[in-house]
Amino acid sequence: MSPPSPPSKRRRRNETEQGSDSRDTSSPSEANNLEKLSPVVVLAHGAGAPSSSDWMIRWKDMLGKALHAVEVVTFDYPYISDGKRKAPPKAEKLVEFHSDIVRNTAARFPGHPLILAGKSMGSRVSCMVAGKEDITASAVVCLGYPLKGMNGAVRDETLLQLTVPVMFVQGTKDALCPLEKLEAVRKKMKSTSELHVVDGGDHSFKISKKHQQTTGNTQEKAEDLAVQAIAAFVLRSRVNLD
């Protein structure tokens, strides 16, 4: 028969067992507080495709899982009709509609951190919405920010006015946002910003098969790294706000 364990070992074993059990005996208020740490995300589509596009559905799913979001809300701007592609109006004309979506979402999930995200045009409008006085966003995530306008001019006014933390995810082959121009803008911004670069990615982060073969990278891996970077950024932003 083995001798009994020394008291110190028994105590450590009991403490460990009790520690594992304590996770299952959390009070309702503690569980509620933990749940409220989950952010709610409002994800806006780009100019050329609605919220029902494959790209938007995939990124909605990836962001929801990576951020442990209580919900990822997507919607269609009014110029989208039955999922058909139409020429969008100027971004400024979409701000109020977008803002109403955000206000309604915040009202549905009080206490949850609010993350505004968008693809291309949707990211630009998200930044405009984040600047409104009655909207309190924890962070903005820009998926392919369209820094250059149709005439080639740099559109940085909205970014320079922001005070909310911003995360840029940009492809190295995105003609609408040359990285050197974005870097120059980031140096002038009042808000903190971070950048994750998708090597070989275009405006929608798509990587050519040739580039994948040359680098050994894959589309899935590149997108996974981008989502991980977004999750880390959102966590840092939330900690800084707290």
Domains of the chain in sequence order? 36-241 (3.40.50.1820)
Which pLDDT band, with edges at 50, 70 and 90, does 242 fall under?
Answer: low
Q: Residue 150: its pLDDT value, please?
A: 84
How open is the CA angle 148-79-59, to the nearest 5 degrees? 65
Could you tell me what percentage of the chain is helix, strand and coil, using 3-state DSSP and rounding each to the nearest 5?
45, 15, 35
Q: pTM of the full predicted structure?
A: 0.83
Contact 212, 194 (CB under 8 A): no
Token code pair at residue 90: 């100027």
Give me the residue label for tokens 């109020």: 96
Residues forming beta bridges with residue 166, ordered by sequence position = 140, 193
H helices of the chain, where?
A: 7-22, 28-35, 54-67, 95-108, 121-130, 157-161, 179-188, 209-215, 219-241
How open is the CA angle 134-135-137, to the nearest 5 degrees? 150
d(CA 67, CA 122): 19
Q: How many residues does the chain have?
A: 242
DSSP 4: P
36-67 pLDDT, tens digit per residue, is: 579 999 999 999 899 999 999 999 999 999 99
Q: Residue 144: its pLDDT value, please?
A: 98
Over residues 210-231, mean pLDDT: 96
Three-state DSSP state, 152:
coil
DSSP 190: S
Q: How far is CA 155 from CA 151, 160, 177, 178, 203, in A?
A: 10, 10, 10, 12, 16
Is the confidence at residue 18, as pLDDT, over 80? no
Percentage of the chain beyond pLDDT 70 is 82
Is the confidence at residue 196, as pLDDT, over 80? yes
113-149 pLDDT, tens digit per residue, is: 999 999 999 999 999 999 999 999 999 999 999 999 8
